[in-house]
DNA sequence: TCAACCCTCCCCATAAATGGGGAGGGCGAA
DNA sequence: TTCGCCCTCCCCATTTATGGGGAGGGTTGA
């Protein structure tokens, strides 16, 4: 374990408030000698959480222009589990190239590395560092530091969860095996009739399971029940 | 970075097939001196993927008895982002205590440490090690090795994705902002009428967005469209 | 200039979901 | 023994979703 990592993790360990976490962005940028660092979580206790070294004007502009919808970094983070080098993203469209040049004008580095992070209940965060460097230098830098950033990004997220008091929902009781089956099949698009056929039960019976699952999950309708079950990870599509 | 970690990651780096990955379980167990190691992914290219040192009879029994529904390790992994020490799980019910004793009889260690892993599209995996040790010894062991296991579990998952040719779905086009809005609101349980009211559009217009989103996602109905959007991480509940 | 897409709105008819009610057998824990 | 839950099944009436059809204005990129 590098001394930089050890030092930073010790610092992170003693960090407990949202403000302190936010301040760590500057420390990480300086410790690791990159142009920018950012951590953006979208669903901590229902709120976004940002800790970044970006120019606040860039952050505001990014939000005003709804750039999250076209940012290839965000798209890549949604699609992949593995960390992403910005070079491997799709910058081919005019819009994304213009976005990139705007970002650079606001001080964002031309090379970037992003680690997608996912938690329960649709929690998602994106940890990124960026810098100005040539390809070979950046590849070498990432080769040397990828493990550090993998650890830092995950422990940072753990701290963000704690600092924002994000806890897992406990309301509702566990679903029965049949209730899970029903929601699973409905979640992959089958009709109630088809699900009943597959499970060899009547639609009336299936209806009882749907209603019971809705009640246990506190769902307002079937779509909501399926959505909650997916978010909880008890079913998948 | 410890020599053990470095050695294991180098080994992992040259591993590319499902069989080789499965074999790494024994190597990890021996390298780190634990009783058992297991990696279980539920949704790689639509199939489960297991690499573990458990007695195959235990694995079969676990599946036959549907223990995934009562295993506190699984429940904890669904609910939390942070790694879990098995001591912090809820073993209070008679069923879970009996399950635990059965597991021990089959050679599972009494102390355990689990790292939940989540990818896009509802991908989920559970990485766990377990051993027989007293509390203090186990705590010290985990204190020394938590960073190693955090890295190993994530790189292992990356390799499992590659070995199983698990790729992100590309079908369908991006959803428009309004389509995303509509699915988001429907996913948190609002009725079509209420969503139309909130977005200040008519239900007829909302219907067009629902139908368009269904078409783009290849969804069979509205519930399915919401489920796919959630799995893709473009909306959240 | 044209095509594709986004955003907006409407209609008819049918199928499905939901609100709300009823029922019984079996199993396990207190 | 009793209670709570799981699994199973049924009914009526109303509301909502869906199949399938129509329409127009604006913007952007080839």
pLDDT in tens, A209-224: 999 999 999 999 999 9
Output the average pLDDT for chain B: 90
Residues 168-227 of B with CB under 7 A from strand C: 173-179, 199-205, 207-209, 212
Contacts of B150 (CB under 8 A, 6+ apart): A150, A151, A154, B83, B115
What integer pLDDT is reported at residue A172 of this predicted model?
54
Q: What is the CA radius of gyration of chain B?
A: 22
- For residue B110, give both structure tokens: 């009494």
What integer pLDDT is reported at residue A170 of this predicted model?
60
Residue A169 has pLDDT above 70, yes or no: no
Q: Contact at 8 Å (CB) between B141 and B133?
A: yes
What integer pLDDT is reported at residue B187 of this predicted model?
96
Each residue's pLDDT tens digit, B149-207: 999 999 999 999 999 888 766 655 689 999 999 999 999 999 999 999 999 999 999 99
Distance from CA of B64 to the nearest CA of A (A): 14
* Greater pLDDT, B214 or B174: B214
Which residues in chain B have their CB less than 8 angstroms from residue A177's CB? 66, 69
Show me where the domains of chain B are located: 3-163, 177-231
- Cα A171 versus chain centre, distance: 23
CA B23/CA B34 separation, integer angstroms: 16
Sheet holding B84-85, edge to edge: B47-52, B36-44, B124-131, B111-118, B84-85
CA A201/CA A94 separation, integer angstroms: 54
What integer pLDDT is reported at residue A83 of this predicted model?
96
What integer pLDDT is reported at residue B47 of this predicted model?
81
- Looking up tokens 């690499």, which residue turns up? B51
In a mutational test of the B interface, the residue from A81, A127, A168 whose CB has the highest number of chain B CBs within 10 Å is A81
- For residue A139, give both structure tokens: 């590849």
Residue A171 has pLDDT above 70, yes or no: no
CB-based contact A231 B233, cutoff 8 Å:
no
CA B104/CA A78 separation, integer angstroms: 39
CA A234/CA A226 separation, integer angstroms: 10
Q: Contact at 8 Å (CB) between A229 and A180?
A: yes
Lowest mean pLDDT among A74-78, A203-207, B137-141, B151-155: A74-78
What integer pLDDT is reported at residue B180 of this predicted model?
94
| Fold type of domain B177-231 | Arc Repressor Mutant, subunit A (1.10.10)
> Looking at the domain covering A177-232, what would its CATH class be?
mainly alpha
Distance from CA of B57 to the nearest CA of A (A): 23
Mean pLDDT of A91-100: 83
How far apart are the two ends of chain B, measured CA to CA in Å? 39
CA B117/CA A155 separation, integer angstroms: 14
Q: Is the CB of A202 under 7 A from strand D?
A: yes
- Classify residue A13 as exposed, middle or buried by CB count within 10 Å of its CB (0-12, 13-18, 19+): exposed
Q: Is the CB of A146 under 7 A from strand D?
A: no
What integer pLDDT is reported at residue B96 of this predicted model?
84
Q: Is A40 left (phi over 0), alpha (psi -120 to 50) or beta?
A: beta
What integer pLDDT is reported at residue B172 of this predicted model?
54
What percentage of chain A carries pLDDT values higher than 90?
Answer: 62
What percentage of chain A carries pLDDT values higher than 70?
Answer: 97
Residue A197 has pLDDT above 60, yes or no: yes
Buried/exposed A64-75: b ≥16 CB within 10 Å, e otherwise = eeebeeebbbbb
- Looking up tokens 């970075």, which residue turns up? B1
Residues 89-128 of A with CB under 7 A from strand D: 94-95
Q: How confident is the model at residue A167 (pLDDT cuts 50, 70, 90)?
A: confident
Each residue's pLDDT tens digit, A73-89: 988 888 889 999 999 88
CA B236/CA B232 separation, integer angstroms: 9
Each residue's pLDDT tens digit, B79-121: 889 999 999 888 877 788 888 988 999 999 999 999 999 998 8
CB-based contact B234 A158, cutoff 8 Å:
no
- Classify residue A134 as exposed, middle or buried by CB count within 10 Å of its CB (0-12, 13-18, 19+): exposed
Buried/exposed B60-98: b ≥16 CB within 10 Å, e otherwise = eebeeeebeeebbbbbbbbbbbbbbbbeebeeeeeebee
Residue A13 has pLDDT above 70, yes or no: yes
What part of A 97-136 touches B (C-beta under 8 Å)? 116, 118-124
What percentage of chain B carries pLDDT values higher than 90?
Answer: 62
Q: Which of A39, A80, A114 is nearest to B157 (CA)?
A: A80
Each residue's pLDDT tens digit, A119-140: 988 888 999 999 999 999 999 9
- Classify residue A28 as exposed, middle or buried by CB count within 10 Å of its CB (0-12, 13-18, 19+): buried
Mean pLDDT of A173-201: 93
Each residue's pLDDT tens digit, A40-70: 998 777 788 899 999 998 988 888 787 888 8
What integer pLDDT is reported at residue A186 of this predicted model?
97
What integer pLDDT is reported at residue B169 of this predicted model?
62
- The arrangement of secondary structure in B3-163, i.e. its CATH architecture, is 2-Layer Sandwich (3.30)
SS3 labels along chain A: CCHHHHHHHHHHHCCCCHHHHHHHHHHHHHHHCCCEEEEEEEEECCEEEEEECCCHHHHHHHHHCCHHHCCHHHHHHHHCCCCEEHHHCCCCCHHHHHHHHHHHHCCCCCEEEEEEEECCCCCEEEEEEEECCCHHHHHHHHHHHHHHHHHHHHHHHHHHHHHCCCCCCCCCCCCCHHHHHHHHHHHCCCCHHHHHHHHCCCHHHHHHHHHHHHHHHCCCCHHHHHHHHHHHCCCCC
CB-based contact B227 A224, cutoff 8 Å:
no
């Amino acid at each position: 374990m590098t001394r930089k990592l050890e030092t930073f993790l010790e610092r992170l360990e003693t960090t407990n408030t949202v403000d302190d976490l936010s301040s760590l962005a500057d420390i990480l940028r300086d410790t690791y000698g990159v142009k920018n660092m950012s951590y953006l979580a979208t669903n901590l206790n229902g709120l976004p959480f940002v800790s970044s070294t970006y120019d606040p004007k860039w952050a505001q502009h990014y939000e005003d222009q709804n750039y999250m919808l076209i940012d290839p970094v965000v798209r890549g983070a949604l699609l992949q589990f593995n960390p992403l080098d910005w070079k491997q993203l799709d910058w081919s469209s005019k819009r994304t190239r213009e976005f990139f040049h705007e970002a650079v004008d606001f001080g964002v580095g031309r090379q970037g590395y992003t680690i997608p992070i996912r938690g329960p209940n649709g929690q998602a965060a994106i940890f990124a560092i960026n810098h100005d460097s040539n390809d070979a230098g950046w590849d070498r830098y990432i080769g040397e530091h990828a493990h550090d950033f993998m650890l830092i990004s995950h422990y940072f997220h753990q701290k963000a969860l704690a600092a924002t008091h994000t806890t897992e929902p406990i309301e509702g009781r566990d679903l029965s095996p049949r209730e899970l089956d029903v929601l699973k099949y409905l979640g992959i698009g089958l009709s109630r009739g088809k699900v009943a056929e597959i499970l060899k039960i009547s639609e009336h019976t299936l209806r009882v399971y749907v209603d019971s699952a809705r009640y246990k999950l506190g769902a307002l309708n079937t779509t909501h029940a399926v959505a909650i079950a997916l978010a909880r990870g008890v079913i998948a599509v």
